[in-house]
Amino acid sequence: MSLRLEGKVAVVIGAAGGIGRGVAERFAEEGARVLIGDGKEAEGRATAAAIGGDFLPVDVSRYDDVQALVDLALERYGRLDVAVQNAGIYPWQLIEDTTPDDWDRVLGVNLKGCFNVARAALAPMKAQRAGRILFTSSITGPRVTGPGHGHYAASKAGINGLIRAAALEYSAWGITVNGVEPGNILTEAIKEHRGADYIADMEQSIPLGRLGSTRDVANAFLFLASDDASYITGTTIIVDGGQILPEGNDFRIEVKNL
């Protein structure tokens, strides 16, 4: 079996659970040595132990924390091939109820966190003249949105702009910068905070008829991290089961047996 990330070193921030854990697991399955950074220490250490990786507590909104994780990768393994910033927060707040501190907190984790990773990962990747920098964006912001997501939508749209700018700046050293835009993914957080009614309603709005799995998203990250994506930079992959395609709710057609 071909291991697509054999010999590669990856850091994945925001991998204590959900999509990030799925990415870390998938990378490890494909031969990568994975270092996990997360603010949830117990869960992060559990993920690292499960995949045979390393863990460091990280607040992605703090540059020094991100730099410490990159330094750990270099200390342990002497290189950094893939850097993933998946950490994100999404409190539901109408704009009129959002304080400046609320805004700064969401943008600090979601958008500044991506800047911190892009900046911290640059030096070792420049030295290698190769690397993959990957961000979790979202269909919310770049493609669609809804009430209560003002700060979140702004942060994710900003990530897509950062991807394009960084891809241009980093291209001279063979470093690619890309992202994944998940739709509704069936994580533990969705089950806990949204509930069965929300999930059932969303399933009706998705052409493929189900919420995505964390592995669906992780497979997109794996592709972008691998040599198969060596000529792809400055873009995103939408993983949403077709959710953004319909103009309205009346899109299902009757499938008849022929």
What would the two tokens of residue 31 be? 């031969």
Instruction: Give 63's contacts (C-beta < 8 A, 6+ positions apart).
Output: 116, 119, 120
Distance from chain centroid for Cα 195: 23
Q: Residues 92, 149: contact at Cβ < 8 Å?
A: yes
77 is catalytic: no
Spell out the residues 6+ positions from residue 58 whose beta carbon is closer than 8 angstroms to its own: 13, 37, 38, 39, 65, 66, 68, 69, 87
What count of Cα atoms within 13 Å lies in the side-chain half-sphere of residue 123? 9
Structure tokens at 126: 């420049």
Distance CA 42, CA 54 (A): 13
Please tell me which residue in 90, 152, 198, 231 is annotated as part of the active site.
152
Catalytic annotation, residues? 152
